[in-house]
Structure 1
Amino acid sequence: MSKHQRVGYKRVSTLDQNTERQLDGEQLDRVFEDKASGKDMNRPALIEAIKYVREGDTLVVHSMDRMARNTEDLLRLVRELNDKRVTVEFLKERLSFSGNSADPMAHLMMTMLAGFAQFERSMIRERQREGIAIAKEKGVYKGRKPSLAADQVAALKERIAAGEKKAVVARDFGISRETLYQYLRGDSDKATHV
C-alpha cells in the first residue's frame, strides 16, 4: 500500500511573477506549477496534478484564487477532487475540504470567500475601465503603440494579398492572428502586440 502524498499546486499570472513564496515551508512530495492567467482555463499543471493525486492524498494550494478564477470553477474542482477522496487544503484561508467527510460550515466559507474574491476582481476591472474612459476623455490615455510600423503593415498586407496563410504571416511578424486581422481591417490604432 502506497503512502498518502501531499501534493502542491502553484500558479502565477505572468512569466515574471514568482511562485517561490506560495508554498514556502510546506513539506510536499511533489509540486505542480502553472504560469497562466487565472481566467485561462488552460492550466496544464493543474490538470496534471488532478490526474496525479490518488485517494488519501492532499492537494495543497496557497489560496483559492491560485486554483480557480471564479466560484463555479472552484466548487467544481474541489468537488471533483473530493469525489476522488482527495483532500484540498488552502493555506491562506486555512480551510481544508476532505473527500471523507462533508463539513457544511467549511463548504459555506469556501463559497462565500470565492464569491467575495470574484466580486473584488470584477470591481477592479470596472474601476480600471472607468479610469481608462476618464483618461481618454482628458486626452491622456492613448493606449499601446501599434506593434508594427507603416512599412511593416504594408508588407503584411502584400503577403496576405499574395495568398500566404495568415497564421504564418502573423508568426513571422511576431503578432497574434487577432492583431493581424485588426491591421487588415485598418484598425491599426487598436492593433497592439499580443
Structure 2
Amino acid sequence: MQSTSENDTGLASVRVSAADQNPQRQLEVLGECNKVFTDKISGKSRGKRQALAVLLGYFRDDDTVRIASMDRLGRDTRDLYNIVAEITDKGAAVQFVNENITVDKNGKSPMDSLMLGILAAFAEFERRRIIERQAEGMAIAKAKGKYAQQSVLSDDDIEQSGR
C-alpha cells in the first residue's frame, strides 16, 4: 500500500466491545478508508486485540490512522497515550474524528495534543465514575435482596440454545 496523502482516505481502527455489537456507527463516522482493522473485543486487554496488533505492524510513514472516538482506541489515558505514541513514533498521524483532533510525529498542532490529554483524562474519569455508580447500585440491590448476578453461558450452552 502506498502512504496516504491529503487526497487519500487513510487507515481506520474500529473496536466494539462484544462480538454481537455492530461497528457500523463507527464506520459511518470514519467515512471511506483504504483499509479498516476491526476488533470485536473488550478494550481491557490490549494483548487480545489482534486487529490493533496487525494495524500497528501495517501502517507506514505519513499514513493517517483514523479512529471514530478516543475511547475506541485506548482503555485508559495511559493506554491511549502509549498507542498514539507508538503510531506517531513510526511516522504516522492519528486522527480522532469525533473529537476533531489529529496528532502526528511533528507536533504540528500543540493544541490538538493538549486536547488529547484533557479529553482522555475526562473520558477515563467518566468511565471510573460509571463503574463506581454501577457498584453502588448493585450494593443497594443486594441489600434489598433484588440483585441476582447473571450466570455466564458456556460455549456448550450457547451451542445448544441455537439448535
Aligned to 2:20, the other structure's residue is in SS state coil
Aligned pairs, number: 152
Corresponding residue number in structure 2 for 1:118: 124
Moved beyond 6 Å, runs of 4+: none
Counterparts of 1:22-37 in structure 2, within 5 Å, are: 22-24=26-28, 26-37=31-42
Q: TM-score, normalised by structure 1?
A: 0.72
In 1, the alpha carbon distance for the partners of 2:3 and 2:60 equals: 10
Percent sequence identity over matched residues? 42
Q: Which has the higher contact order (CA 8 A, sep 6+)?
A: 2
Task: Give the secondary-structure state (helix, strand or coil) at the position aligned to 1:21.
Answer: helix
- Alpha-carbon shift at residue 80 of structure 1 (Å): 1.1
Q: SS in structure 1 opposite 2:88?
A: helix
Query: Matched residues in 2 for 1:145 and 1:64: separation?
Result: 32
Partner of residue 9, structure 1: 13
Q: Deviations over 1:55-89 (max 9, x none)?
A: 01000010000000100011111111111110100
Q: Mind listing any 5+ residue stretches in structure 1 that lack a counterpart?
A: 148-169, 175-194
Structure 2 gap segments, 5+ residues each:
158-163
1:142 equivalent among 129, 145, 148: 148
User: SS at the partner of 2:27?
Assistant: coil
Matched-pair contact (CA < 8 Å) for 1:23–1:61: no
Q: Deviations over 1:13-32 (max 9, x none)?
A: 01221101203162211100
> Of the candidates 122, 125, 135, which is equivalent to residue 129 of structure 1?
135
Which residue of 2 is the match for residue 65 of structure 1?
71
Partner of 2:57: 51
Q: CA RMSD in A?
A: 2.3
Alignment partners' CA distance in 1, 2:39 and 2:53: 10
